């Protein structure tokens, strides 16, 4: 099985091409990760062309394209989805959307405490979710720094379980993990100093995205061709349209 994965959910562009044997063993892999600002529109297709050429594959050889589903950068997610659907039209067999946060957590499934992937949602808010052993404990989140910190504290010691004397500190990961920790410190929240930063938080997750996408696809997961990214909130343009609609209705009444 030949899988191409694309993560455009943050400022880091991450792409991987993996080839699997019938038993699920990775027989060949190649990845590229670029952190050059949000230039996905100009970088993505040339990077895919390079990766496929390196693997001696054509688009029609791809059995599956896996794309990060969000939440994340509105523009980046749109680019990722439109590219995945374009590859489908160009001959790729199928595509699947998988939340990038799940992949960050999957890569840290052996960590004994909470895993908290975060992505800057602007306006002092954060996209993410809480995990323990790669099991997601919350819905996908769009919270302020303070609210996310409070939620982490709530899940640090699960209700009804035996209290651990020294539980592992929450492990913060994802492309904006360092920024989140700096905001915790600037807000002087009391538990900020006990958080742990994933030393590999800045690395792309396309490799895990490909493996996880293949696993879910073989388990029966499917993404409708008409599906779009999971934004969690309206864009600024949509907010403006909604506000103008409310104002127009107020004038008419």
pLDDT in tens, 162-207: 556 678 999 999 999 999 999 988 876 655 458 999 999 988 999 9
Close Cβ partners of 220 (under 8 Å, ≥ 6 residues apart): none
Q: Are 214 and 221 contacting, i.e. CB atoms less than 8 angstroms apart?
A: no
CATH number for the 108-197 domain, one of 3.20.20, 1.10.10, 3.30.420, 1.10.3470?
3.30.420
Distance, CA of 223 to CA of 67 (rounded, Å):
10
More confident residue, 147 or 38: 147
Instruction: Report which of 192, 198, 202, 194 is spatially closest to residue 145, judged by C-alpha positions.
Output: 192
pLDDT tens figures, 83-128: 999 999 999 999 999 999 999 999 999 999 999 999 999 888 999 9
Question: What is d(CA 83, CA 174) in angstroms, rounded to the nearest whole number?
Answer: 23
- The predicted-structure confidence for 208-244, as pLDDT tens digits, reads as follows 999 999 999 999 999 998 999 989 774 444 333 334 4
CB atoms near residue 123 (< 10 Å): 6
Domain with CATH 3.30.420.40 in the chain: 2-99+205-237
With cut-offs at 50, 70 and 90, classify the pLDDT of residue 35.
confident
Q: What pLDDT, on a 0 to 100 scale, did the predictor assign at position 159? A: 54
- Give me the pLDDT at residue 239, please: 34
Instruction: Name the CATH topology of 2-99+205-237.
Output: Nucleotidyltransferase; domain 5 (3.30.420)
What does the mean pLDDT of the chain come to?
87
What b/e string do you get for 162-172 counting C-beta neighbours within 10 Å, with b at 16 or more?
eeeeeeebbbb
pTM (2 d.p.): 0.86
pLDDT of residue 48: 96
């Amino acid at each position: 099985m030949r899988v191409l994965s694309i993560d455009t959910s943050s400022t880091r562009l991450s792409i991987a091409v993996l080839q699997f044997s019938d038993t699920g063993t990775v027989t060949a892999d190649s990845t590229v990760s670029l952190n050059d600002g949000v230039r996905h529109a100009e970088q993505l297709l040339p990077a895919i062309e390079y990766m496929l050429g390196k693997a001696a594959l054509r688009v029609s050889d791809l059995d599956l394209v896996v794309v990060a589903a969000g939440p994340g950068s509105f523009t980046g997610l749109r680019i990722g989805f439109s590219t995945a659907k374009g590859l489908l039209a160009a001959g790729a067999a199928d595509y699947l959307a998988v939340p990038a946060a799940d992949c960050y957590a999957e890569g840290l499934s052996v960590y004994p405490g909470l895993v908290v992937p975060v992505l800057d949602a602007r306006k002092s808010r954060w996209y993410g979710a809480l995990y323990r052993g790669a099991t997601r404990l919350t819905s996908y989140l769009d919270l302020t720094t303070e609210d996310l910190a409070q939620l982490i504290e709530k899940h640090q010691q699960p209700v009804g379980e035996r209290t651990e004397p020294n539980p592992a500190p929450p492990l913060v990961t994802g492309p904006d993990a360092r920024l989140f920790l700096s905001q915790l410190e600037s807000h002087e929240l009391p538990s900020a100093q006990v958080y742990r930063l994933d030393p590999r938080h800045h690395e792309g997750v396309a490799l895990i995205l490909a493996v996880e996408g293949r696993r879910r696809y073989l388990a029966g997961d499917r993404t409708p061709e008409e599906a779009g990214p999971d934004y969690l909130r309206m864009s600024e343009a949509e907010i403006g349209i909604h506000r103008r609609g409310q104002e127009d209705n107020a004038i008419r009444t």
